[in-house]
């Protein structure tokens, strides 16, 4: 497998990250529904006519406060729920926008607001902006752009005002680091040693592949399954085993029906079922065989994340569901930010994935919801792979297990999750949106615990932590093993960090040891130790 490994922070945050299922539906209508196309053409003609008439209009200047107040008003309005309601809303507001545009400069702001309302529900905003630029009178178009810039800026900047949720008692902070600004997780109040700082449910999980299908742990929540209580899902290509009906339903609704089941994704009143069950079954089987052959958790974490996004979006389109179902049942998804919002700001490894994997994931999603494959591009899959590989946390019960098969890959290619017990002791991996921000320390102030016997993560304070202090965890086993000298232990943990996450650790413990010229009673020259870590970091980061 070819690999590049530069560490990047996400720079661009997209305007609308979650509307892609609606986009598929909209495109479907545009391609297949003659009356819908006719309506769109009619609207465009009307706009063109007005543009011609309004050339030479004088614009009125609108100050920032008026613009902000207008934007606030638009944001506070109820948004249409289903795809059909969105389509109607879109048509109405484009129509109103053009009517208002011809009333003269005093109506430019209300006209722009109407066009902006339509833009907010349109699945491909960039495409619509290009249409607006050609068709909407220039002064009105300029206001639409000002509204959009203000909205995007406030939405992007406002994210950390609502995330992490206040009841988790932590905040995301930022500090200067050698490789740019580094995000950190900070205590929002004082904690005592042993306190549970917060509990967090994963967005997606994957049980270790050697445990899958055995009936020992639940595929969904990882709970140990009581004797004779295993529930095997029917018509499930993954052969998942659940501990309860609830887990089976949640798992099916969140991702598994899309990836490994045969039920239609959209109810018939929203869209006819265009899928071919035999074909769906066949592509799923090829994908399952591939996943098992590959033996890694990340491709399945990525597919489940993609499927969960699709499930959350399709749920919003179903009026009866009222936008809530297990697909979206994660407190983080309740607000105005989507699952994609919670991942796009995270650091990731730039990596590459086999072309076969890109095609198989796209094929499985396409077979479940034709058209969706356009939104699972190679670029998006590579990005998500890098994010999952960089941020996943290992789930270990008790001290961890001792029977996980080792892979014979090169140490830098082995799959690693962040866990103080070591990836070899875990039973599975999970992606946790808040815990993703925990930095590593070789003397960590907190530790993840799975004391509920499920993949729910409890972050426990290792010592007293003051409000405003950074909270850290160990990504690797930082203990000194009985057969290791302090220098051996230091070298092992620093090399593991370099292999897994491509950084030379700068935690207080490493810096203090470095300042002392190595660790006490060292039996290996520190210079040799450091050059080895740097060598690994450089090798994996490339030139
Ligand atoms: C999972 S992210 C943690 C959040 C990250 N700091 C951010 O800005 O988004 C892991 C990355 O944080 C940085 N990091 C975490 N712990 C570190 C440490 N002890 N020393 C140096 N860099 C560290 C490294 O760049 C690492 O690749």
Q: What is the DSSP letter of 241?
A: E
Tell how far the Cα of 182 is from the centroid of ligand 1, in angstroms: 7
Mutate to test the pocket of ligand 1, among 184, 416, 503, 537 (most ligand atoms within 8 A of CB): 503
Dist. CA 207 → ligand 1 center (Å): 25
| Mean pLDDT of the residues in the chain | 83
Distance 143 CA to ligand 1 centre (A): 40
Nearest ligand 1 atom to alpha carbon 440: 16
Per-residue pLDDT for 149 more than 70?
yes
Which of ligand 1's atoms lies nearest the C-alpha of 183? 8
Distance 369 CA to ligand 1 centre (A): 37
Strand arrangement, sheet containing 196-200: 196-200, 457-461, 446-449
Summarize pLDDT for 85-104 with one digit per residue, the tens: 888 899 899 999 999 998 88
Instruction: Say if residues 210 and 476 touch (Cβ distance below 8 Å).
Output: no
CA-closest residue to ligand 1 atom 13: 439
The band of 337, judged by pLDDT with boundaries at 50, 70 and 90, is confident
Query: Which CATH number does the domain 166-198+397-541 belong to among 3.90.850.10, 3.40.50.1970, 2.170.270.10, 3.40.190.10?
Result: 2.170.270.10
DSSP H helices in 252-354: 257-260, 277-294, 298-317, 339-344
CB distance 350 to 2 below 8 Å: no
Whether the pLDDT of residue 1 is over 50: the answer is no
Residue 12 is predicted with a pLDDT of 30
Closest ligand 1 atom to Cα of 436: 1
Please check the confidence at residue 340 and state whether its pLDDT lies above 70.
yes
The residue with greater pLDDT, 41 or 196, is 196
Name which residue sits closest to atom 27 of ligand 1, judged by CA.
Answer: 501
23-32, 300-309, 359-368, 516-525 — which is least confidently predicted? 516-525
Is the dihedral angle over the CA atoms 105, 106, 111, 112 positive or is it negative? Answer: positive
At 313 the pLDDT is: 77
Looking at residue 47, its pLDDT comes to 57
- Angle (CA) 9-12-13 rounded to 5° is 105
Ligand 1 atom at minimum distance from 502 CA:
27
Query: Does residue 361 contact residue 302 with C-beta atoms inside 8 Å?
Result: yes
Rounded to whole angstroms, how far apart are CA atoms 257 and 448? 30
pLDDT at 53: 59
Q: What local confidence, expressed as pLDDT, does residue 19 receive?
A: 40
**503 Cα: distance to centroid of ligand 1 (angstroms):** 8
- In this prediction, residue 382 carries a pLDDT of 93
ipTM above 0.85, yes or no: yes
Sequence ranges of the domains in the chain: 7-15+215-391, 33-160, 166-198+397-541
For residue 296, pLDDT over 90 is answered with yes
Question: Residues 201-216: what's their mean pLDDT?
Answer: 94
Could you write out the DSSP letters of every residue in 486-540? HHHHHHHHHHHHHHHH------HHHHHHHHTTS-TT-SS-HHHHHHHHHHHHHHH
Specify the pLDDT at position 170: 98
User: What ligand 1 atom has the least distance to the C-alpha of 472?
Assistant: 16
Greater model confidence, 534 or 239: 239
Ligand 1 pocket, Cβ-based, cut-off 6 angstroms: 7, 182-183, 346-347, 390-391, 436-437, 439-441, 501, 503, 505-507
Q: Look at 19 and 128; give whichever has higher pLDDT.
A: 128
DSSP H or E segment with residue 429: strand 428-431
Can you give the pLDDT at residue 63? 83
Going from the Cα of 262 to the center of ligand 1, the distance in angstroms, rounded, reads 41
């Amino acid at each position: 497998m070819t690999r590049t490994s530069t560490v990047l922070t996400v720079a661009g945050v997209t305007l609308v990250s979650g509307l892609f299922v609606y986009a598929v539906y909209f495109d479907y209508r545009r391609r297949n529904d003659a009356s819908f196309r006719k309506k769109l053409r009619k609207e465009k003609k009307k706009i063109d006519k007005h543009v011609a008439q309004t050339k030479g209009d004088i614009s009125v200047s609108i100050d920032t406060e008026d613009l902000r107040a207008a934007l606030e008003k638009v944001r506070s309005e109820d948004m249409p729920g289903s795809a059909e309601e969105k389509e109607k809303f879109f048509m109405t507001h484009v129509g109103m926008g053009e009517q208002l545009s011809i009333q003269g400069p005093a109506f430019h702001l209300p006209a722009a607001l109407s066009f902006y309302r339509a833009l907010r529900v349109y699945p491909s905003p960039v495409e619509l902006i290009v249409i607006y630029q050609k068709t909407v009178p220039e002064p009105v178009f300029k206001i639409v752009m000002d509204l959009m810039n203000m909205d995007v800026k406030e939405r992007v900047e406002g994210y950390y005002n609502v995330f992490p949720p206040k009841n988790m008692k932590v905040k995301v902070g930022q500090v200067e680091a050698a490789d740019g600004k580094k995000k950190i997780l900070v205590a929002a109040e004082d904690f005592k040693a042993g306190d549970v700082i917060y509990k967090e449910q994963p967005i997606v999980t994957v049980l270790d592949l050697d445990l899958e299908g055995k009936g020992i742990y639940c595929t969904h929540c990882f709970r140990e399954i009581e004797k004779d209580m295993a529930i095997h899902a029917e018509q499930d290509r993954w052969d998942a085993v659940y501990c309860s009906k609830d887990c089976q339903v949640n798992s099916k609704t969140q991702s598994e029906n899309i990836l490994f089941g045969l039920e239609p994704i959209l109810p018939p009143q929203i869209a006819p079922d265009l899928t071919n069950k035999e074909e769906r079954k066949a592509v799923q089987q090829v994908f399952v065989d591939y996943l098992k052959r590959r033996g890694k958790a990340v491709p399945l974490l990525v597919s489940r994340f993609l499927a969960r996004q699709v499930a959350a979006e399709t749920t919003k389109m179903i009026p009866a569901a009222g936008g809530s179902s297990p697909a979206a049942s994660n407190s983080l998804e309740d607000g105005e930010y989507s699952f994609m919002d919670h991942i796009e700001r995270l650091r990731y490894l730039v990596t590459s994935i086999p072309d076969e994997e890109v095609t198989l994931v796209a094929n499985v999603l396409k077979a479940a919801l034709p058209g969706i494959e356009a939104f699972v591009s190679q670029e998006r899959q590579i990005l998500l792979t890098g994010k999952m590989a960089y941020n996943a946390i290992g789930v270990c019960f008790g001290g961890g297990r001792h029977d996980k098969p080792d892979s014979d890959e090169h140490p830098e290619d082995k799959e690693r999750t962040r866990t103080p017990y070591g990836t070899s002791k875990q039973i599975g991996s999970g992606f946790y949106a808040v815990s993703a921000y925990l930095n590593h320390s070789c003397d960590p102030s907190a530790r993840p615990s799975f004391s509920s016997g499920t993949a729910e993560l409890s972050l426990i304070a290792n010592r007293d932590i003051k409000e405003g202090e950074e909270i850290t965890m160990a990504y690797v086993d930082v203990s000194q093993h009985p057969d290791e000298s302090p220098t051996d232990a230091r070298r092992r943990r620093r090399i593991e960090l370099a292999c897994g996450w491509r950084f030379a650790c700068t935690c207080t413990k490493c810096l203090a040891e470095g300042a002392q010229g190595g660790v006490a009673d060292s039996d290996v020259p520190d210079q040799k130790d450091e050059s080895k870590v740097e060598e690994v970091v450089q090798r994996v980061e490339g030139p």
